[in-house]
A and B are shown apart, each in its own frame.
Chain A
Amino acid sequence: MVAPLKERLNRDIVINRLIDYSPLMVLFFIVIVNVIFTPNFASVNTLRNLAIQVTSSLLVALGMTWVIASGGIDISVGSVMALVSMVSAKLVGIGAVQSITIGIITGILSGVLAGAIIAKFNIQPIIVTLSLMIGIRGVAQIINDSKILRLDSPEYVFIGRHRIFGEIPIQVVIAFVAIIIMYFISSRMVFGRKIQAVGENHKATELVGINTFVVKIGIYATCAFLASIAGVIDTARISASDANILGSMIELDAIAAVAIGGTPMNGGKPNIIGTVFGALIIQVITTMVNMNNISFEYSLILKAIIIILALWAQRFLHSKR
């Protein structure tokens, strides 16, 4: 049976490659279509706007990749963004760095809480994060009586407005660093293996002596941390904090990006690069719809179709291996 196995393996490898590269191919296709049909699409300005706009959903999607790879889901990320935004904006009087730090710590704590509840009491992640999503949004709104809080701290706004060398927005650099770190941990470090192991076979992971409790807390805390950064960036960009809408529905874009990116939805290997392409695909569609003066509602329908197609393709390819 050795020889046939080898051939099957080659086929496995081909299909794995297809799974790996399919999001890239889809992105490529959509970009080409836009370059041809959308006026002014191929310009530095468009590219930069696209990069700025994708940052927060991308950061959230990176964290979501780990959560989904571990067999869970986190729909509280948007509320965490709002909370971090409010806390840091409210405290900005003590200094931008201090207030942002406190805000981010608050965000991480909510992630630790989510992970602890999920791991300790074995409650379904969607229920735990659903209640957090509702509760944390409430807390964020209470902080400023559901009113918009204007931000008059040049240091804070700097994060959203500054361009390195006059060209590269800071948030793009932050996103880039986040991608590299997340990719590195996922593919080269012990923790990345633990995420996959927990997601694919929880019992076996526990029996092999891996502390799944700690791993899950780490995963949800990381997800909340990245959402917190996204919250800070969005706050800085609009130089105001609005707990009513900031980050709302972002979990859906993030989950969609992960799904398109090819991370198995019921747990498995986290595909960070796939998620990056997934987030870009969603953003390009939004941009495309905007630039062609098609109303926003249509972009929603288009996104839905793309997500279904991506999941179908994933299912198809996985069934072949």
Chain B
Amino acid sequence: MDRDVLLHMKNINKQYPGVKALNNVELIVSRGKVHALMGENGAGKSTLIKVLTGVETMDSGEVILDGETIVINSPAEANHKGVSTVYQELDLIPDLSICENIFLGREIRKNSFIDWKETERRADEILKSMGIDVNVNDILSTKSTAIQQMVSIARAISINAKLVVLDEPTSSLDSSEVQILFQVIRDLKARGISVIFITHRLDEVFEMSDEMSILKDGELVATSKTENITRLEMVSKMIGMDASSIVSYRKAYNDSKIKDEAIVKGIDLVAKPKVNGQNIEVRKGEILGLAGLLGSGRTELIRLIFGADYLSSGHFEVNGEKTKIHNTRAAIKNKIAYCSEDRKSEGIIPYMSVRENLTLAIMGSISRFGLLSRREQNKIVDKYIKALKIKVSNPNQPIRSLSGGNQQKVLLARWLCAHPELLILDEPTRGIDVGAKKEILDLVEQLAEDGISVLMVSSELEELVQSCDRVQVIKDGKTVGGLKNEAITVSAIMDKIAHGAVIN
């Protein structure tokens, strides 16, 4: 292969107790190229990156950067050698300002004091070059996730890296922000910096990457120039399945299962600044999708329906009757269930077992005088582990030891066993690998078949196209359009987002 190689990782092995995480993996990244690192959850992408960035040490293997064999023992050392990483879970300090975060640990000094003027100037310069217009003295936590992500990237850029690793940088960005990020990546390329790019969104891979490597179960299964591989080939390599079984899928519409009566109706809902007089109506047995850019007020709207946030005006009707949903318990009493977009901080109880996580919402109703019935719990847990094909070796294991997809299934089961009439799902497939994604979407459709209404928010428009009977498009806290059945296409949704006018 004659190409200008920047990074060559050779025969990398890493053994965790009981798991061969990396088995003779080879990774070759060209200079000034975007290299996509693909694979399902647990394929070894993160471990490989951790080895590269000094978070984990490899058992054997060789890392050659710029023709020189290097040993990296800590993230600081990796930074020093020109390898910088933006992690999936943001590792910034929320209570510090943006510029403090960018230069954290590498403060610019003058006479042994921090030179704030220079810090601000340089932070501002970097962010401006990325096309981000913010006040660098603002506290980070007051900014959206997207901005925080950009700050994290700015930090990586600021160390004059030769190689920047982006671990799922786009998972919390909306499409316009993704474009800004891509522009930033193109700039990096132009400066001769290589980028390793990890993402679950397949479109992005084909839009951005020049070359790619695919891992499966800790082994390298393919490496190629992006132009020489098709989408189908890539997906089938990732999941190790025949490509023919993954056809572009589109649901057959069946209006008969949807009843005319609304199960939950929200009227003139207001909760400033993200919900500005919204109307929403979910009918029996339908899957209603909410589309809109990140920050358009999608999540805020559904949180209101679940009583998780304060409603300043407007009211709800449940099964045609005016109902107060002033807290989550009131919502649950009205048979409404909600899975948050943030599995980690609003979903799982990490050290609790799968069994207890799964039965958390119905604990009270399957107990007698507050006494837990292990037998009753097991019955429910066994049923849902089977029904949802949750991969656990033992329901007593802590939920945090499961993969993202399986955690999500447990959280779905947590609500399904409470037999809701309306299930609200916020980004149900975020951070989940391709196989599990399909399973979850299939499950959602099955639920609707069984007569449960589903209200779903997703940033991945294909998912909405695939699953929804109706899509409501939201912009700046207001509804700007609705689509039904065959009219639901990605381009139609985008068009509504771009051009739709307020209709309520």
Give residues in A with beta carbon < 8 Å to B: 1-12, 188-191, 193-194, 196-197, 200-201, 203-211, 264, 268-269
Give the segment of B105-113, B117-125, B138-146, B346-354 that binds chain A: B346-354
Q: Which 6 A-B pairs have the closest CB atoms?
A: A7-B18, A4-B19, A6-B393, A209-B332, A203-B346, A4-B18
Neighbouring A residues of B273 by C-beta, 8 Å: none
Known: A7-B17, A9-B393. 12 other contacts (CB 8 A): A4-B16, A4-B20, A5-B19, A5-B401, A9-B401, A12-B397, A12-B401, A189-B372, A190-B371, A190-B372, A191-B370, A200-B350
Q: How far is A277 from B356 in the complex, measured between Cα atoms in Å? A: 27
Q: Are B349 and A189 in contact (CB under 8 A)?
A: no
Nearest B-chain residue to A203, judged by Cβ: B346
Instruction: Answer yes or no: B367 CB below 8 A from chain A CBs.
Output: yes
The 8 Å CB contact of A197, one of B217, B306, B349, is B349
**B161 CB to closest chain A CB, in angstroms?**
29
Does the CB pair B345–A203 fall under 8 Å? yes
Q: Name the residue among B331, B370, B398 with the largest chain A CB count within 10 angstroms.
A: B370
Residues of B whose CB lies within 8 Å of any CB of A are 16-20, 42, 217, 306, 308, 328-329, 331-332, 338, 340, 345-352, 356, 360-361, 363-364, 367, 370-372, 391-394, 397-398, 401, 403, 414
**Could you give 11 example pairs across A and B, Cβ below 8 Å?**
A1-B42, A1-B391, A1-B403, A4-B19, A8-B16, A9-B401, A190-B370, A207-B346, A208-B360, A264-B351, A268-B351
Q: Which residues of A contact B367 (CB under 8 A)?
A: 189-190
A300 CB to closest chain B CB, in angstroms? 33
Residues of B within 8 A of A189 (CB): 367, 370-372
- Which residue of chain B has its CB nearest to the CB of A200? B349
- The smallest beta-carbon distance between A186 and chain B, in angstroms, is 11
Give the Cβ gap from A297 to chain B, nearest Cβ, in Å. 39
The docked-state distance in angstroms from the alpha carbon of A207 to that of B411 is: 12
Min Cβ gap A177→B in Å is: 18
The residue in chain A whose Cβ has the minimal distance to the Cβ of B397 is A9
Are B16 and A204 in contact (CB-based, < 8 A)? no
* Contact A2/B349 with A7-B19, A193-B360, A211-B329 known, Cβ cut-off 8 Å: no
> What's the Cα separation between A13 and B9 when bound, in Å?
35
Bound state CA distance, A180 and B195, in angstroms?
A: 59
Decide if A204 touches B364 in the complex (CB within 8 Å). no
B352 near A196 with CB under 8 A, answer: yes
Given contacts A1-B42, A193-B363, A211-B329, contact A200 B351 (CB under 8 A): yes
Residues on A with C-beta less than 8 A from B371 are 188-190
Q: Would B348 and A201 count as touching, CB distance under 8 A?
A: yes
Q: Are B18 and A201 closer than 8 Å at their CB atoms?
A: no
Question: Is A193 within 8 A of B397, CB to CB?
Answer: no
Which residues of B are found within 8 Å of A194, using beta-carbon distances? 363
- By a CB distance below 8 angstroms, the chain A residues around B392 are 5
State A1–B435 Cα separation when bound (angstroms).
Answer: 14
How far apart sit A3 and B16, CA to CA, in the bound complex (Å)? 13
- Closest partner residue, chain B, to A11 (CB atom): B17
A13 to chain B, nearest CB (A): 8
Chain A residues with CB under 8 Å of B351's CB are: 196, 200, 264, 268-269
Contact A204 B346 (CB under 8 A): yes
Separation of A61 and B186 alpha carbons in the complex (Å) = 59
A206/B328 in contact, CB under 8 A: yes
> What A residues does B401 contact at CB under 8 A?
5, 8-9, 12
Given that A1-B391, A5-B393, A8-B18 are known contacts, is A196 also in contact with B363, CB under 8 Å in the complex?
Answer: no
Q: What separation, in Å, do the CA atoms of A300 and B306 have in the docked complex? A: 52
> Which residues in A have their C-beta under 8 angstroms from that of B414?
208
Q: How far is the CA of A210 from the CA of B361 in the complex (A)?
A: 8
Question: B348 contacts A204, CB within 8 Å?
Answer: yes
With A2-B391, A190-B372, A209-B361 in contact, is A8–B348 under 8 Å at CB?
Answer: no
Q: How far is the CB of A36 from chain B (nearest CB, A)?
A: 38
Known: A1-B42, A209-B361. A204 touches B347 (CB 8 A): yes
Residues of A near B347 (CB, < 8 A) are: 201, 204, 207
Report chain A residues within 8 Å CB of B328: 206-209
CA distance A209 to B349 in the complex (A): 14
In the bound complex, residues from chain B placing their C-beta under 8 Å from that of A208 are: 328, 360-361, 414
Q: How far is the CB of A184 from chain B (nearest CB, A)?
A: 9
Tell me the complex Cα distance, A189–B392, Å: 24
Distance in angstroms between the alpha carbons of A206 and B392 in the assembled complex: 26
Query: What separation, in Å, do the CA atoms of A209 and B393 have in the docked complex?
Result: 28
* CB-CB under 8 A for A197 and B393, given A11-B17, A207-B308: no
Shortest Cβ distance from A42 into chain B, in angstroms?
Answer: 39
B265: min CB distance to chain A, Å: 22
Tell me whether B352 and A200 are in contact (CB under 8 A).
Answer: yes
Q: Which residues of chain A are within 8 angstroms of B217 by Cβ–Cβ distance?
A: 1
Q: Which residues does chain B contribute within 8 Å of A203, judged by CB atoms?
A: 345-346
